[in-house]
Chain A
């Protein structure tokens, strides 16, 4: 089995390095094809490993080599394939295979075709390191690797000012969170003496609760950055500047779920500190509602889906925070499928509409883009959680978890958010695909995407539909590692009322969204309607003014402070002292260069002067050494 582990891990790296060879050359089709094939081979290996684990195989653990061994510190490059990591491996390799195939078509006309595949495969490799590592240090390497690849890919079109800005924003926000994560890792190492998962978790029950709480909090700060939880959420929406396949793979399906994976992986720690778990759950519920509300009014197709991702991450954190780790992981998996599908569909629409993002300028696209229409509608149904698609099984389960654990406020918030989710998803679908063909005003002739792109997307479509049916198989598998709490509502009547009630609520939101946005009266908003001038609309449209507040109260004061430090400290103290030393050297050189007249006679005179000087020094020191006692006596008599 180890060979499959190594294939799954290193095939993406080989693909990345291979594509990197051609980054400076014009587009070569085979880089995309070979990178895709290597990712697919990683996917096949992961599938074999999944089958092995499903059939009751022991987790595969390998120690490839020693990374650090100094004193008591021992960190190997160790990898493990157990029930949790194999789930993540499946999600990562499957979605990235689809995205690779899709990108061959999507990046068809891009000058950076080869470079794109190099970055994308490098991302997959980092993500595999992240999920397969058997210690926190390896996880951190992967964590930083995906951060780097995310930066590279958001800023892929680096000639665009907004793209580089968004890339830097994402990177800097993640750095802030990574500092928290590092502190968490240091705390773990100091208190348990190891970074290996199994050993560290085994040592944790013997520790003080306060220390454990700090570990949990700092690890969660790291997770907040990667998973874009409030208040570090602004980067995710701006990250949509990157190419759409990147948004699908990194900013919807895999990287942003790394935070959830971390919490799930560290479940023995979070089980010991339920109060921190409750905080995580509350923050998750808040983010779910907060992000969904921003998605209601946004006029950027990709941003709407990004806020939806944020909201669903909130759901996952509610489940993880309440101790339902397997539920969180299950929603992570289901969400990866339908959200990636939604993003890829949005990519098709963007291509057809010549990079237009405002859904108000589209409308009626269901005729020219029939397959994309079907895929995005089904993905939205899955996202809304309608029976029997994937979202129903995973998202309703989170609602049940909140209900069974008697967190009724969380339950109410999540239920309300489920309605909002349905509304904004179908607002988007209705605006893009139904109603009048408003795009004709802008002189655009939309066309469906390439056949192989659609075929490439189909596995995601199938999984978005049927993923729910794997629930019990999945449950039996992961509960070998995760706490096997089943969430059953005891009374049958309550269960049916809740399920049917939720379904009706969600369905009515969908119908309302269709009614409001699928008609022929929709026009491109021009800022004059009553709704657009209401306070609530402005608040939501401007993302609660949070980017503005960050700019005004964090970025600008920081910039001013930096200017002060630059002008007062750097220029006047640091630079001045360095320049001063250089000035002294220059000055003495300038003054004494007359000595070097080139005249042998003058030089000889200087030589004699030097000899005399050195001789007299030798005499003075010799005398001082000989009569040191007397000199000391005289000096102490003078009171020195």
Chain B
């Protein structure tokens, strides 16, 4: 049915005045930040941020930089897709970085190759039986690990009614402990060739984009998505409407855990090694991408498109700082400020919406 200019009961409204999608603001912010770096680049160094200025390369854009921007956010971006769903449902997930660490260790143990340059694998964790397994084995083991960790989060939150902050904080500490205990703190390395192919080149980007499209569709067009928004928007209303809130929350956190595991698989494959310290602070970066992308920490609002844009903003800022040759320390300080700023902006928008109604 096409939208008409006449509403129900003879009331009129202007279809042109329909609320703009909030992602538009995030997109403008992205453009603004890119333009800022472009201008600063020309002013300070006489260089372009995103455009190709070398004569020997035939391209409009500086693809090398653009690829790096996308590549460096895609792995944390995969985590952010899960975190987005958790936050829309009114929760929070602090455990994703640790789940990445623990899952990476376990996955790599099943992805090792027996012979390295003609010598036995020096980092072997298990015996012969775990060497040169088909690539499907480590992938499945990893996904199941993430699923279980997420499910534990969900079960704790849904059935003991403890705040998501506490439940996932516990998982954050425990999963990090597990990743250290797994190999007594030693790194696990030398995966099979087929496992190493998962994170090669631009593969992380492809996986991120595919998952983003999948979960965009899931949130927009399925009952799961609708109930996720409903629970975040008004949990009591959702319960009274007959939505099985507890069960749904377990599902949301399980999906978030599984997505963290996907990130772990891609990351350990890309790095060709797994270490106990992998994924430290990733949870905060993922939450930052989500919040920058316009997902409300109060729940009920936001989208995957917003989070993808938020991830891009995140990548552009990091890349831009490197481009301007600023210290990594500055990057972290500014990152913190941006996260706080995004939340303040969200609160402010919400306040304005309350005033209008």
Do chains A and B interact in one complex? no
Residues of A with Cβ closer than 8 Å to B?
none
